């Protein structure tokens, strides 16, 4: 099974088109700062905010 790609981004707003000629319609995704990442509903690419990457959430 193909592993899904993970991208580190610097913005809470990202656009995903699946990449390449056989991608999917472009979708605009907003990353919730509390979550720090979002998964594209079409291609399952994961986008992680670089500033939040590596920071662990503290337990409440």
Rounded distance between C-alpha atoms, residue 2 and residue 5, angstroms: 9
Give pLDDT, residue 60.
Answer: 46
The answer to whether the CB of 1 falls within 8 A of the CB of 39 is no
Tell me which of 1.10.10.10, 2.60.260.40, 3.30.565.10, 3.30.9.10 is the CATH number of domain 6-49: 2.60.260.40
If you average pLDDT over residues 10-30, what whole number do you get?
95
pTM beyond 0.85: the answer is no
Compare 36 and 58 and report the one with higher pLDDT.
Answer: 36
Q: By the 8 A CB rule, do 7 and 44 touch? A: no
Return the structure tokens found at 49: 């905010």
Which of residues 18 and 54 earns the better pLDDT score?
Answer: 18
User: CA-CA distance, 7 to 38, in Å (whole number)?
Assistant: 10
Residues 56, 59, 60: CA angle, nearest 5 degrees: 140
């Amino acid at each position: 099974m193909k592993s899904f790609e993970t991208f580190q981004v610097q913005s809470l707003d990202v656009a995903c088109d699946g990449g390449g000629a056989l991608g999917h319609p472009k979708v605009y995704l907003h990353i919730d700062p509390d979550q720090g990442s979002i998964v594209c509903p079409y291609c399952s690419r994961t986008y992680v905010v670089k500033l939040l990457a590596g920071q662990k959430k503290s337990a409440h």
